[in-house]
Structure 1
């Protein structure tokens, strides 16, 4: 179970230096926060020179604190005409500040900043500051060219779960005597696992234990004059004299041209097009229908919200990360003038069974901020909803409903509008098969004609993905979902979507969307009267006014769509396994971990999203784009392994069923 996140307490010493009562130490030198950051961490790592003329440069920091090192690094990157194309800054923080406290602290610090732009950057950081919930948060600045990946949690637990290749390491925790865990051998072992061959490090500390831990994990160091009242500091590089890790950290996929074919223009495919185009990729989008979002993504509305479980399960953690990242991407679409149609008043989840009642009762123990979720009794829930409800539950202030088709169109439009974008969307094209041709993949239509060729192909075509990718170990099933549209609805006063044993979503024109049926292995797309009655009866148990709905003379309106799900109900996101190679080497791979599995070069999947495509699609697209580019992953590696498309191949190898 994820540990409760405890925010930092803001305090100041008499001289105005920010101070941590928890650790009894200052956040920066009294001689100046930004001056210390530049002297110790930038110059100590040879920056900005080392990132110049590079495409991607990644900084890894232990202890985000008030973000001074990030702001200093960001400002230096902006001021450097020879800067790298994309700067990644990854930082772990066990006790992050609440937004208002961060604003107060940074206002005091930037008042003495040497660079006037730092005040502007500090305001942008505060505005983008995430909700204080555990896990990985991906923030983007300067049009996505600067990415801050914040990990809220204990570094001892979090660092081993990250997957990235660090070019520079900032060791900036509180003093080893005050916070020994952040300088423990486990930390340095985790840093050695992700350090690039030419990685450097810098720290203001020169303690003996720090030097010994560095040496024991393959780092060379030298002692140099320190900043302010510090006599000495340490700088150095990763130069192991022996093998220190089993797996090499990620590198970009070797491609002659950054060109990808994306198959499918639903939620998964349109998100992929946007994330790849934002990185300057050429993208060819192939869709068998005449327009995007014609299948499950074409429903009139879908709900989006996190998933709360008593044990903060893997599904809850992945869904939380996806929900928060999706909100950021949608806000970015809004700012670019491509706003999808969605609600902004929140979403109610009613406690309709024993499990959800237990979650509602235990919700306070998670200590989530109210802006993320909070419990509501029946009366308060009814006031939020504007209609009578049969029970309470919990409220997501940032949850809601969205028109999926408008989201797909917005993402494709935004992708095409990026500077230098090369996006070709081809509709009415049915993919038949793919074939390897040298270092590329050829894509053929169902008549056998060559329609596209690229170094990377991403299957985002739901039910058809396993067939087109020739996957045997992709146990997907179709689930029929019929929704109903209630005209002149008794729930016309409903203000927010309500979910539980079904869902009700207010639409324009006093229409209520209710649903949906869940019929496994049923692929019939005809509307059925029993399905409408089932929807109404189930939702009326939560919203009793719906029982007053009467069938119109013309019959119920609705829509049927097929969800694609796996046997474990988790999506398939990432690089595909090489099943033929796994069969040839099945005996050796019988105990394989995900990183041991052979992979098919250039083939990726983003499908089987079930009912959670709205909260998984953007995160899944960012994960695949990061894998292609060799960038830090947007979620912990252990979570990525739970949605790895090769996980069923791994299980078959372990069960010796190949």
Structure 2
């Protein structure tokens, strides 16, 4: 593609100059490098350039050549994503240039699953462009431009589809490329595409300094926001985020379910963010031997081996393991086969939190030993209050990242979260001394080197007891011995224990995104009885990132980027279906649909 074909139809770079965000959508999978280079060459460039590209999975088979003379091509090749379907977000130039790759069986179908506001589109014409043009109309910002290679019958059908979707064709029928502009003369969509939040100042409050709160603070700070981080403890990462280590891995199961796709997206994005922190010389205490998951039964091991082959997952993502193969990787005998994640492992949650806060230190102000008992909105700003009614901080944006307490502060319908007590056990010298890699399954075991091995964890729903129990240690040993049989014969000595509380929902999915205005929804309950997530009224500037259960490491970085994208009106980094599955308003929405809430 020539630069004149790419830039001239969209009046670039003039249109992006001195703007906050410019979003370019490309279905030809060819625009990113020239756009990035032009952005770099422009002293008056936009603050953040987003390029959203769609392609089939085979496109990932051919990364940019590192032999290319262009240093940008070399940098892109180094960041090239793993060959798995879904949305991959790659960040360059300190996060100011973002490539979002939407990869699926059908590139145009994949585009329709996203959620964004676009300033420009570059298209590959199709035989039947009607569905594609309707997608463009859902995403188009004011005056968004379109360029497309089309001639003959394709030109005619594309023009008709664009015009029926609210676009005005600006080029003559014989011109190449076809050029159009979004200028609807009637309503062509039900919902407006994402806009940035209406904030007079770029200030935010984040409540909770665990994995979620630290990640959100860092992603907002990276976009230029001043963040006040509030936590009731003296230091960050004191609750579940203070465990000695945590495991991280995606889910692989017989079908590519919403949970599997969401966890894959979180896992891959977390790896990128952690790698960036490690490149900045932060030690996250991350293991490098992979992670082994032991199947519950031999039949499950066989079924998963078949699923891995059927989905054609690459070996750097997951590998099926027989019992003997798994035992060699673990360094100890295992009870059954399973599957191995070469890039999974264990990491220190506290080290991740510390690195994120250090990375955004210039824009993050911490208010530790401060408990928030109430929040309020005056129409412009959110204010956090302490137990005496004193004001802690005010800002137009607030993010609740304080686990179970978030639902209380927000007054969410139906008490959607529950606390789960988890007791960990640290073993001194034991049968796990030879363990080489973290192992998960019915429980988990993490080698800690000279500090022994960490095993766990109990799962005690609505149990508030903070005391260490001998019964909890025995339960942990029995559960892990079911995966690693030698532990039953030589359990060793218990060095220490720790109790932490996880927050979960009934569907075991996290709560991530903008909170609903529940009072407004109740007043309009009849109309909203058939509502979809985009129909719900939302609380201006109020977001949530909580109820991560035991997957905080995988979900926290994804939650932070999704919320920052929502605040800034940027393209979301996951499909809208996945965002709906973790929407904090989903329980309210179900109640409205089932008639459990009446208009008041």
Q: Give the TM-score range, shorter chain.
A: over 0.9
Counterpart Cα distance in 2 of 1:63 and 1:367: 24
Q: Contact 1:63–1:92 at 8 Å: present in 2 too?
A: yes
In the superposition, the TM-score normalised over structure 2's length comes to 0.96
* Residues 158-557 of structure 1: pairs in structure 2 closer than 5 A: 158-171=110-123, 173=124, 176=126, 180=127, 184-206=129-151, 207-223=155-171, 232-353=176-297, 355=300, 357-416=302-361, 421-509=362-450, 511-550=452-491, 552=493, 556-557=495-496
Aligned to 2:38: 76
Deviation string, structure 1 residues 378-425 (Cα, Å, up to 9, x no partner) = 121112111111221111010000111111111111111xxxx32100
1:361 deviates by: 3.3
Correspondence 1:648 to 2:587: yes
1:582 aligns with 2:543: no
Q: Is the 8 A contact 1:338 1:414 kept in 2?
A: no
Structure 1 counterpart of 2:102? 151
Asked if the contact 1:489–1:510 (Cα under 8 Å) also holds between the matched residues in 2, the reply is no
> Structure 1 residue 73: deviation in Å?
0.4
Report the Cα distance in structure 1 between the residues aligned to 2:157 and 2:520, rounded to whole angstroms.
Answer: 46
Report the CA distance shift for 1:323/1:364 in structure 2 as closer, same or farther (over 3 A). Answer: same
Partners of 2:147 and 2:483 in 1: how far apart?
Answer: 58
Unaligned runs of 5+ in 1: 1-32, 112-118
Q: CA offset at residue 355 of structure 1?
A: 4.6
Please state whether the residue corresponding to 1:509 is helix, strand or coil.
Answer: helix
Give the drift of 1:556: 5.0
Question: How far apart, CA to CA, are the structure 2 residues paired with 1:78 and 1:550?
Answer: 59
Contact 1:266–1:294 (8 Å) recurs in 2: yes
> Over residues 311-369 of structure 1, what are the superposed CA-to-partner deviations in whole Å (9 max), with x where a residue is unaligned?
11111111000000000000010111223111111101111235555223322111011
8 Å CA contact 2:89–2:573 kept in 1: the answer is yes
Residue in structure 2 matched with residue 5 of structure 1 by the alignment: none
Where do 1:44-55 residues align within 5 Å? 44-55=9-20
**Cα distance in 1 between the residues matched to 2:335 and 2:48:** 51
Mapped partners of 1:339, 1:48: distance in 2: 40
Query: Contact 1:351–1:360 (CA<8 Å) still a contact in 2?
Result: no
Secondary structure class of the residue paired with 1:97: helix
- In structure 2, what is the Cα distance between the partners aligned to 1:125 and 1:489? 46
Deviation at 1:93, TM superposition (A): 0.4
Q: Secondary structure of the equivalent of 2:163? A: helix
1:636 aligned residue (569, 575, 583)? 575
Gap runs ≥5 in structure 2: none
SS in 2 for 1:232: coil
**Mean alpha-carbon deviation: is it higher for 637-646 or for 523-532?**
523-532
Q: Distance in 1 between matches of 2:468 and 2:14?
A: 64
Q: In the alignment, is the contact (CA less than 8 A) between 1:477 and 1:521 conserved in 2? A: yes
Question: How many angstroms does 1:474 deviate by?
Answer: 4.2
The answer to whether the 8 Å contact 2:54/2:108 transfers is no
**Aligned partner of 2:21 among 41, 51, 56:** 56
Query: Kindly tell me: are residues 550 and 393 of structure 1, through their superposed partners in 2, closer, same or farther at Cα, counting changes over 3 Å?
Result: closer
Distance 1:211 1:127 in 2: 39
TM-score calculated relative to the size of structure 1: 0.88
Between the aligned partners of 2:60 and 2:519, the Cα distance in structure 1 is 51
Q: Any idea what the Cα deviations from partners look like across 1:67-109, whole Å, max 9, x if unmatched?
A: x41000000000001100000000110144346x3234x74xx
CA distance in 1 between counterparts of 2:48 and 2:167 reads: 26
Residue 235 (structure 1) shift: 1.3
Contact 2:407–2:415 (Cα < 8 Å) also in 1: yes
Contact 1:351 1:357 in 2 (8 A): no
Q: 1:156 and 1:225, CA in 2 relative to 1: closer, same or farther beyond 3 A? A: closer
Give the superposition deviation at 1:246: 0.3
Deviation at 1:157, TM superposition (A): 2.4
Offset of residue 261 of structure 1: 0.3
**What SS is found at the alignment partner of 2:555?**
helix
2:304–2:320 CA contact under 8 A, matched in 1? no
Q: How many Å apart are 1:470 and its aligned residue?
A: 2.2
CA offsets 1:266-307 (integer angstroms, 9 cap, x no match): 000000011000000000000000001111111111100001
Counterparts of 1:432 and 1:352, CA distance in 2: 43
| Partner-residue secondary structure (3-state), 1:651 | helix
Q: Does structure 2 conserve the Cα–Cα contact (< 8 Å) formed by 1:221 and 1:236?
A: yes
Number of aligned residue pairs:
592
Contact 1:501–1:539 at 8 Å: present in 2 too? yes
